[in-house]
Structure 1
Amino acid sequence: MIVLNLRCGNGHDFEGWFASSAAFDAQLANALVGCPHCASTDIQRLPSAPYVRTSHAAPSSKAPARTGDAAALAQAKLRQLAQQAEDVGKAFPTEVRRIHHGEAPERSIRGHASLDDVAELLDEGIGVLPVPPAKEDLH
């Protein structure tokens, strides 16, 4: 496991944990590395002496865990993907069912659904994923 210092095109610095340098390169090439602050995938590796984890034991206090960074990165990537989807608003439950049953063209959509709607969709075998709004969207 290696820890790399990274910077996005918007100037945000952050760390990324990867299985190897080759794993980082592959993820970067497929736009799978994103800034946890702004979701930008314009990422560059900064010069550093990377920390290399040599055992399967938990990281020592010298290399603190970055689970918050990973969660923030995942949320940022989900929000980025959601922004690229077609917004169908409150028609989401109906439209996702239509897509699932082949009555509408398959495409990425986003919209609004109640917790009951989401539970019903999941019970019907329709995969949906709630994406929390960004903090700045809550104001």
Structure 2
Amino acid sequence: MIQYSLRCAQDHRFDSWFQSASAFDKLHAAGMVSCAVCGSTEVEKELMAPRVNVGSEKARTAPEAPLSAPANPAEQALKELRKEIEKSSDYVGRDFAREARAMHSGDAPARSIWGETRGDEAKKLIEEGVPVAPLPFLPTRKSN
């Protein structure tokens, strides 16, 4: 895994993890890397310094905080947002674009949904006036 510091065309700065440098390049070329703040796909890598973990033997063997505990207020807010979205809306998976269009056109009852779609399909939804927004997390089944 590799962590990159990223910046979008609107000068929003954020970090994101990728399986490898080539995985980032492939996703970026496909327009699938988007700003965590505004959703723009005009994203570039920022200058970064490598992180090297050093410390005493005690620090290296000390138990770490649980991975599920938020490290800061921003992570806590994201955790609460995810919990609220999962509680109050329907996960439609890869049918997101179809479901969103159907609700927008009146062919399906309006309700809160979330799911997955390709970047180009999300752009089409926006161009069609369908109100959508990117979420700052992946479905549970896709996260480690």
Shorter-chain TM-score bucket reads 0.3 to 0.5
TM-score for the superposition, normalised by structure 2: 0.43
Q: Give TM-score, length-normalised by structure 1.
A: 0.45
